[in-house]
Amino acid sequence: MATLHIDGNPYEADPRQNMLQVSLTHGFDLPYFCWHPALGSVGACRQCAVRQYRNEDDQQGQIVMACMVPAAEGTRISIQDEEAREFRKSIVEWLMINHPHDCPVCDEGGECHLQDMTVMTGHAYRRFRFRKRTFTNQDLGPFINHEMNRCIQCYRCVRYYKDYAGGRDLDAFASHNHVYFGRSEDGVLENEFSGNLVEVCPTGVFTDKTLKGHYTRKWDLQSAPSVCAHCGLGCNTLPGARYGGVRRILNRYHHDINGYFLCDRGRYAYESVNRPERIRHPLLHEDAHDTDTHSKPEFCSVDHALKRARDRLHSARRVIGIGSPRASLESNYALRALVGEDHFHNGLPAAESHLVNVALDILRHGPAKAASLREIEEADAVLILGEDLTQTAPRMALAVRQSIMRAPEETARALGVPAWNDRAVRDVIQTDRGPLYIAAADETRLDDAATSVVYRAPEDLARFGFAIARAVHGDAPPVDDLPEEDAAVAQRAAEALANAKRPVIISGTSLGNESLLRAAANIAWALLRREKPAALAWVVPEANTFGAGLMGGRPLREAYQAVSSGAADTAIILENDLFRRTHDVDVERFLQSLKSVIAIDSLRNRTTDRAHVVLPAGTFAESDGTFVNNETRAQRFFQVLAPEEDVLESWRWLGHLESGTAPSEEPRWKELDDVLAAMARDLPELAGARDAAPAADFLKNGSKFPRSPRRFSGRTAMLAHRDVSEPKPPVDSDSPLTFSMEGSVTIPPAELVSHYWSPGWNSVQALNKFQEEVGGANRGGAPGVRLIEPEKATHSFFTDIPAAFTRSDQKYLVLGLHHIFGSEELSRHAPALAERIPEPYVAIGEADATARGVNEGDEIVLRILGRQHKLRARIRTRLPQGVLGVPAGFPGLTGLVFPADGHW
């Protein structure tokens, strides 16, 4: 810690920071633009000017930029200095010269850093009397709106997009006061993290195009802490809702997970909540299984639906429950409680269920612990074994991209250049990057950042991994007959990992290969035996995959068996489209054999279409619940809007189903906390979930925390699309939040933060006030509870090394290739995101294509498990011979368990 002086008073500060960070951390309202906590300083905007004094005796001092001054011991600055203040005011005056002053019609209005800084610096009257410069805007695709005239040339967008996110299609053009930020010509921004521009841009140049489609003033957005429901990482989000729909997603800072940024799937999937295909009323379909009648499901009242459902349950020989990795722990548990432990199924195909258990066991038994995304960012050597992260766990790919800066930053530090001095660091390190080794089946979007990439079939990837483990530690089993080329890369990867201070090994379930997980574990353990604090990061596909795994249910196959054996005749299917999980034929047979199918879901799908009773479930936005992410962190998400019409949280429906036959009977679960308490008693490993957020009775100064911002236009405007009467706000008995603008005005525990706002700070930059130190930990600790912390025990290495992949002339190995846009079920329903979904295809390696005389775009009829698929060929240079790829989770290709055998 260093002691330094701001306006004459002493403060303690971390000397590795700069004076802008320190000033903000200590609560000073020092304005800035070009600096960003995740992007560092570049000194471009000159907004953070202060006066610096050499020492106590220096009365004169000089104007400097706080963001470029190290927080060294004895540093003295004045923020209040008259000239510094005048200068800061001038900066805004200059920035406003060409700004269109279109705040009343600007999407950013009311949440604009430029507005805030303008007010903060006191610039009020315009002296510039000449014409403004104007630019033409560009069409940047479905996510981002572009309005260049609002630009203040802070360069944040290109620094974020190019330097941080690795994008190469956004840049700065021209010079002097014509500097332009955009693309060389109109076109879709290709980077998978483009949506963050909306938050990175301090004014209204880059705004959320989906919000524009149903715009509402940002201070009228009701909001609650949420967790992204669209992959396994559990990024924290802040959805904003109005008039019964979700209008946008903002990033919610979680120091250990997503930090400041989300991926575009996470940001834009929300529109699925507002879709017309949402189920909003119960549906009855008495002869759902009678394909001859062509009868249609009919809406009915809640009481009626519940009665019919209960009747069916009571008349059942045996009821089985099928849970879901996209439903909350609470809903899964409520189902398990309803049908009994022995009849609860986790909703996963057997192979995936097994993989999940292997992954969880490796974490349970240790000694390698699960790495958080932050730990991946801070890693100084990373190995990715068999995941195309950008597609399977996008935000993790962004974290990996940062990790490669760590080693070169050390070089810079040795030359006296601190890590925050962004441009200087880049000048020092140039193209030098830290070790990142990727082993993948096909090209990945991180390859450009990698030290080396090997492309192999899954078995060979695993063998490559085992070889690395062996090279790290001699006790790990050797791999026989590894190609020399692979052995050489394995050797180099092993050295890089062993030389690192904080190595991380990443693997996951997307290739459907258990050996990959084991190989990854062996590497981590080998490193740990060499006293390297290696951590493991698993990639799992869905928001609650690990939750479903920890719930301990049986795989789908056993559900199918229970029915085909006649043991069970009724199923409750919770938020799960079985047609996406297993083969059509199996699902069809299963459903046909059931006397009763009760489905609870939010969006119509093929499974709900086959159910006798469908109950309308709340989405993440209308539910409270808990997801367990890839590091086994249980995290609570809260209702952003109260469910409307007949929609209820799934666990509530299940409570109603359990309560008996009479409609008037009390449901089993009155509040979320009841479910959590019961679950904690029943399933000790999940007990931590209870503490993932404060209980419903948590009050601060006797008040709950408001979902509506303090600047909310008021209750009379809440339903202005219908009428202006003042409705009584819904009562929330499940959480410490209220559907109101009234309540506690203090900063709540991190799990309950619904908005970033602080007096004078109306934009997302108010986040500074919600951190222990700027860019650091969430005030009040990181949200969520990690359910598994590994034992310290030393594990004996896995020894079952798979045989090398062998090509056969009769069949190909078909892999499911994942897509950030298209592979996940719910996000496919979001219109903007759907625009980015590619056409289904079959990927063929160059050699195979040549051998079979196939050209790019040719139509191929591929047979997988007896089903025929007509697909256009995409020729891939890296895909190994004998291996094909089809997009996972795409219509027509769902229900296939990969890898599968394919013929053509």
Partner 1 sequence: MEKPLTEHITPGAPPLDLAAYEENGGYEALRNTLGSMAPGEMTSLVENSKLRGRGGAGFSTGMKWSFVPMGENAPKQKYFVCNADEMEPGTFKDRYLMEGNPHLLLEGMILGAYAIQAPTGYIFLRAEYRKSEEALARAIEEARRAGYLGENIRGSGFSHDIHLHSSAGRYICGEETALLNALEGRRAVPRAKPPFPPVVGLWGKPTIVNNVETLCNIAPIVRHGPEWFRKLGRAEEAGTKLYGVSGRVRNPGLWELPLGTPLREIIEEHAGGMRDGYRFRGVIPGGASTDFLVEEHLDLPLDFNSVQKAGSRLGTGTMIVLDDRTCPVGMVLNLERFFARESCGWCTPCRDGLPWVEKILEDIESGGGREDDLGILHQHAKFLGPGRTFCAFAPGAVEPLQSALKYFEDDFRRHFDGKGCPYHAPSAATGNGQPPSSSQGPETRNQKS
Partner 2 sequence: MLSDKEREEIEAELPHYPRKQALCIEALKVVQLHRGWVDDSALRDVAGFLDMTEHEVDSVATFYNLIYRREVGRNVIHLCDSVSCWVMGCDSICSHLKKSLGIGMGQTTADGKFTLLPIPCLGDCDRAPSMMIGHTLHSDLTPDKVDKILRNCE
Stretches 46-54, 421-429, 544-552, 555-563: which one binds ligand FES (CB under 6 A)? 46-54
Of the candidate residues 4, 13, 24, 45, the single one contacting ligand FES (CB under 6 A): 45
Q: Tell me the β-bridge partners of 172.
A: 181
Of ligand FES, partner 1, partner 2, none, which one sits near residue 91, judging by CB under 5 to 8 A according to partner kind?
partner 1
Stretches 409-417, 461-469, 578-586, 675-683: which one binds partner 1 (CB under 8 A)? 409-417
**Phi then psi for 637, rounded to 5 degrees?**
-115, 150
Angle at 624 between CA 621 and CA 626, to 5 degrees: 110
Q: Does 148 bind partner 2 (CB under 8 A)?
A: no
For partner 1, the closer of residues 398 and 428 by Cβ is 428
- Over the window 425 to 464, marking each residue x when it contacts partner 1 by CB under 8 A and - when it does not, the resulting string is --xxxx-x--------------------------------
Of the candidate residues 67, 189, 228, 263, the single one contacting ligand FES (CB under 6 A): 67
Distance CA 486, CA 470 (A): 13
Closest residue by Cα to residue 261 from 201, 195, 207: 195
Of partner 2, partner 1, ligand FES, none, which one sits near residue 710, judging by CB under 5 to 8 A according to partner kind?
none
Stretches 421-429, 549-557, 612-620, 725-733: which one binds partner 1 (CB under 8 A)? 421-429
Q: Does 35 bind ligand FES (CB under 6 A)?
A: yes
For ligand FES, the closer of residues 47 and 331 by Cβ is 47
Question: Please, is 903 exposed, middle or buried when counting C-beta atoms within 10 Å of its C-beta (0-12, 13-18, 19+)?
Answer: middle
Stretches 143-151, 166-174, 305-313, 769-777: which one binds partner 2 (CB under 8 A)? 166-174
Q: Does 415 bind partner 1 (CB under 8 A)?
A: yes
Q: Does 184 bind partner 2 (CB under 8 A)?
A: yes
Owner of token pair 């596909």? 541
Q: Does 809 bind partner 2 (CB under 8 A)?
A: no
Angle at 35 between CA 29 and CA 203, to 5 degrees: 80
Q: Rule CB under 8 A: which of 141-200 touch partner 1?
A: 148, 152-153, 155, 172-180, 182
Of the candidate residues 171, 495, 584, 609, the single one contacting partner 2 (CB under 8 A): 171
Count of Cβ atoms closer than 10 Å to residue 278 Cβ: 18
Distance CA 468, CA 479 (A): 9
For partner 1, the closer of residues 94 and 270 by Cβ is 94
Of the candidate residues 76, 183, 604, 704, the single one contacting partner 2 (CB under 8 A): 183
Of partner 1, ligand FES, partner 2, none, which one sits near residue 48, judging by CB under 5 to 8 A according to partner kind?
ligand FES
Two structure tokens written together for 434? 């830290």
For ligand FES, the closer of residues 19 and 211 by Cβ is 19
Q: Does 64 bind partner 1 (CB under 8 A)?
A: yes
First CA to last CA across the chain, in angstroms? 67
Q: Does 65 bind ligand FES (CB under 6 A)?
A: yes
Q: Does 32 bind ligand FES (CB under 6 A)?
A: yes
Edge-first strand order for the sheet with 344-345 is: 298-299, 283-284, 613-616, 596-601, 570-574, 319-322, 344-345
Distance CA 555, CA 573 (A): 13
Q: Does 177 bind partner 2 (CB under 8 A)?
A: no
Closest residue by Cα to residue 472 from 516, 531, 515: 531
**Phi then psi for 564, rounded to 5 degrees?**
-70, -30
Of ligand FES, partner 2, partner 1, none, which one sits near residue 32, judging by CB under 5 to 8 A according to partner kind?
ligand FES
Considering the complex, what minimum distance in angstroms separates the CB of residue 378 from partner 2? 28
Distance CA 65, CA 84 (A): 10
CA distances to 390, 442, 463, 558, 803 from 879, in Å: 17, 5, 17, 35, 19
Q: Tell me the β-bridge partners of 63.
A: 51
Please give the size of the binding site for ligand FES, defined by CB under 6 A.
13
Please give the size of the binding site for partner 1, defined by CB under 8 A.
51
Of partner 1, ligand FES, partner 2, none, which one sits near residue 258, judging by CB under 5 to 8 A according to partner kind?
none
Of the candidate residues 95, 120, 305, 654, the single one contacting partner 1 (CB under 8 A): 95
Q: Tell me the β-bridge partners of 597.
A: 571
For ligand FES, the closer of residues 34 and 750 by Cβ is 34
What is the identity of the amino acid at 167? G
Distance CA 754, CA 771 (A): 14
Distance CA 569, CA 356 (A): 28
Q: Does 270 bind partner 1 (CB under 8 A)?
A: no
Of ligand FES, partner 1, partner 2, none, which one sits near residue 170, judging by CB under 5 to 8 A according to partner kind?
partner 2
Two structure tokens written together for 492? 């180099």
Distance CA 672, CA 655 (A): 11
Of partner 1, partner 2, ligand FES, none, which one sits near residue 376, judging by CB under 5 to 8 A according to partner kind?
none
Q: Does 44 bind partner 1 (CB under 8 A)?
A: yes
Determine contact, residues 444/432, Cβ cutoff 8 Å.
no
Q: Does 444 bind ligand FES (CB under 6 A)?
A: no
Q: Does 48 bind ligand FES (CB under 6 A)?
A: yes
Distance CA 391, CA 368 (A): 25
Distance CA 566, CA 197 (A): 56
Q: Does 43 bind ligand FES (CB under 6 A)?
A: yes
What is the identity of the amino acid at 749? P
For partner 2, the closer of residues 184 and 868 by Cβ is 184
Contacts of residue 887, Cβ cutoff 8 Å, sequence gap at least 6: 816, 817, 818, 819, 822, 823, 838, 840, 841, 893
Tell whether omega for the bond before 899 is within 30 degrees of 0, i.e. cis. yes
Of the candidate residues 119, 172, 680, 719, the single one contacting partner 2 (CB under 8 A): 172
Distance CA 227, CA 237 (A): 5
- State the number of CA atoms in the 13 A half-sphere of 744 facing the CB: 19
Closest residue by Cα to residue 619 from 216, 89, 114, 239: 239
Of partner 1, partner 2, ligand FES, none, which one sits near residue 97, judging by CB under 5 to 8 A according to partner kind?
partner 1
Distance CA 753, CA 751 (A): 6
- Over the window 408 to 437, marking each residue x when it contacts partner 2 by CB under 8 A and - when it does not, the resulting string is -----------------------x------
Of ligand FES, partner 2, partner 1, none, which one sits near residue 134, judging by CB under 5 to 8 A according to partner kind?
partner 1
What is the identity of the amino acid at 527? L
Of the candidate residues 62, 175, 664, 701, the single one contacting partner 2 (CB under 8 A): 175
Of the candidate residues 91, 379, 389, 843, the single one contacting partner 1 (CB under 8 A): 91
Considering the complex, what minimum distance in angstroms separates the CB of residue 65 from ligand FES? 4
Of the candidate residues 126, 132, 168, 721, the single one contacting partner 2 (CB under 8 A): 168
Of the candidate residues 17, 21, 25, 47, the single one contacting ligand FES (CB under 6 A): 47
CA distances to 30, 334, 356, 677, 877 from 549, in Å: 48, 15, 6, 19, 36
**Phi then psi for 383, rounded to 5 degrees?**
-120, 130
Distance CA 107, CA 199 (A): 12
Of partner 2, partner 1, ligand FES, none, which one sits near residue 169, judging by CB under 5 to 8 A according to partner kind?
partner 2
By DSSP bridging, strand 2-6 and strand 9-13 are antiparallel
Of ligand FES, partner 2, partner 1, none, which one sits near residue 35, judging by CB under 5 to 8 A according to partner kind?
ligand FES
Chain residues that interact with partner 2, rule: CB under 8 A: 168-175, 180, 183-185, 431
Chain residues that interact with ligand FES, rule: CB under 6 A: 20, 32-35, 43-48, 65, 67
Chain residues that interact with partner 1, rule: CB under 8 A: 42-47, 49, 62-64, 68, 86-87, 90-91, 94-95, 97-98, 127-128, 130, 133-136, 148, 152-153, 155, 172-180, 182, 415-417, 421, 423-424, 427-430, 432
